[in-house]
Amino acid sequence: MGRTRDRQTAKARVRRLRRRIQVWTARHLPPGTRLLAGLILMGGGVLGFLPVVGFWMFPLGVAVAALDVVPIIRWLRGERAWRRRSARPKKDGDDA
């Protein structure tokens, strides 16, 4: 049970860190620069086997670039799943 709680707290910390970085970049970088910074981070993440750069850079780059690319934002928030659930055909007798 302790491991599950540790994993949940670690995931929550990662989410909070990702969100703080997104808020900082949204406030301090203009839109075109955010996308470029995200792409550079993703490129560094691909080269994660090298020292200094790491695989941690790729998801961070996606999160930063998502500020300028609306479909990625929706995917990160899970809105597609919500739309699929709400777009299900109604059963007979469900007319409201």
Closest among 74, 75, 68 to 33, alpha carbons compared: 68
Residue 87 predicted with pLDDT over 70: no
**Spatial distance between the Cα atoms of 34 and 40, rounded to a whole number of angstroms:** 10
pLDDT tens column, 16-73: 988 898 899 889 988 888 889 989 989 888 887 877 778 888 888 888 888 888 766 7
Question: In this predicted structure, what is the pLDDT of residue 93?
Answer: 58
Residue with tokens 């007979």: 92
Residue 88 predicted with pLDDT over 70: no
Confidence tier at 80 by pLDDT (50, 70, 90): low
Global model pTM greater than 0.85: no
Closest among 66, 77, 56 to 23, alpha carbons compared: 66
